[in-house]
Amino acid sequence: MSVTRHISDDAQGAADSCAAFIAAALRQELAASPVATLAVSGGSTPRLMFDALEIEPLDWTRIHVFFVDERPVPPGDPASNFTLCETHLLTPAAVPAASVHRILAERGPAVAAALYSADITLFFQEFTGENPRFTVVQCGIGPDCHTASLFPGEPLINDRKGLVAAVEVAKLHQARITMLPRILLNAKTLIVLACGPDKARPLQQAVHPPYDPLLYPAQLLFHEARSVDLFADRPAAALLD
């Protein structure tokens, strides 16, 4: 397990650095394989990252874009992770519609999770013949140390067999659709992007022991993955050793 920290002065710098790193990983994959895969999260800092990634010289006809998680809203809703990515990356970069693997949240959480799991399985069977292993998975971290839509106390934090699930987030009074640890931890390149002073405490909890992922779900990424690259601004990294 190794953690590489990329600390920038501000959120824009972290987003730019993260976008350049993702682009390099995708280009390296495309040099050896016909396609590359990218799974992204939502949020204000990923929006900056999407803007930076959109101007990177990449062959988007060979890059398939997936989503780490989604809220139970249709496309076009301001809360939709897909819509954020569509506005700031997919449309500006002219990513082909056939290369975008949207979570069909408007079908309802359980159905959307089943359809998304099937989509991921079929894609990797067709293109790689392997179990799902994404080129890049980009995650964030919440103020309560959640990552993807795996919130504190969620039993599926311990699941290592499933790909995608619908989860109930009691404190938000809503369901979410999320990738499970099997996908997150199996990524070739796993990235955590976190900016702002509200991320300082959860980052400290995620990186440092004691290890209790049911209480601090983002610990999964920093303690169980083979390697993770952390992109953060100085306020978010303030409490790290």
pLDDT digits (tens, 9 = 90+) for 58-98: 999 999 999 999 999 999 999 999 999 999 999 999 999 99
To the nearest whole percent, how much of the chain has pLDDT over 90? 92
Question: Tokens 């179990």 belong to which residue?
Answer: 131
Does position 131 have pLDDT exceeding 90, yes or no? no
| Residue in 47, 58, 113 with CA at minimum distance from that of residue 83 | 47
Can you read off the two tokens belonging to residue 143?
């103020």
What is the rounded distance in angstroms from the CA atom of residue 54 to the CA atom of residue 157? 32
Q: What is the pLDDT of residues 211-235, one digit of tens each?
A: 999 999 999 999 999 999 999 999 9
Determine contact, residues 181/132, Cβ cutoff 8 Å. no
Amino acid at site 87: T
45 confidence band (pLDDT: 50, 70, 90): confident
Was domain 2-233 assigned CATH 3.40.50.300?
A: no
CB atoms within 10 A of CB 198: 12
Closest CA to 116 of 187, 205, 180: 180
169's tokens: 């987030």
SS3 139: strand
Residues in the chain: 241
Q: Which residue has the tokens 């399985």?
A: 121
Query: What's the pLDDT at 225?
Result: 95
What tokens were used for 183? 């996908």
Instruction: List Cβ<8 Å contacts ≥24 apart for 125-129.
Output: 127/34, 127/35, 128/33
Query: For residues 157 and 216, what is the distance between their CA atoms, to the nearest angstrom?
Result: 10
| CA angle (180 as vertex; 96, 110 as ends), nearest 5 | 80
Per-residue confidence (pLDDT) for residue 98, from 0 to 100: 96
- Tokens 């099997």 -> residue: 182
C-alpha to C-alpha distance for 71 and 86, rounded to whole angstroms:
15
Average pLDDT value for the chain: 96
pLDDT average, residue stretch 23-30: 98
Q: Please determine, for residue 129, whether its predicted confidence score (pLDDT) is greater than 80.
A: no
Cβ proximity of 40 and 4 under 8 Å: no
pLDDT at position 64 is: 98
| Cα dihedral 140, 146, 149, 151 in deg (nearest 10) | 180
Assess whether pLDDT exceeds 90 at residue 172: no
- 13-22, 82-91, 119-128, 156-165: the lowest-pLDDT one: 119-128
Q: What is the domain partition of the chain in residue ranges? A: 2-233
What is the pLDDT at residue 217? 98
Q: What pLDDT sits at residue 18?
A: 98
Q: Are 138 and 193 in contact (CB under 8 A)?
A: yes
- Whole-number pLDDT of residue 6: 98
Compute the average pLDDT of residues 112-130: 93
